[in-house]
Amino acid sequence: MAWLRVSERLALGLPWLRLVFIFGAVTAFTAWAAWLLRKTKS
């Protein structure tokens, strides 16, 4: 899904690096939240 969005922006000649950073931040936040919830359940 993410690669599809990046390839769309590359094909259209639009900036894509900001999109990669946004996807990375969302992934990191989701992983952190999952780790936090898993830690509090134990």
DSSP letters of the chain?
Answer: -HHHHHHHHHHHT---HHHHHHHHHHHHHHHHHHHHHHHHH-
pLDDT of residue 24: 94
Q: pLDDT value at position 41? A: 65
pLDDT tens readout for residues 1-42: 778 988 998 999 999 898 989 999 999 999 999 999 987 765
pLDDT at 42 (0 to 100): 58
Please tell me whether the overall predicted TM-score, pTM, comes out greater than 0.75 for this model. no
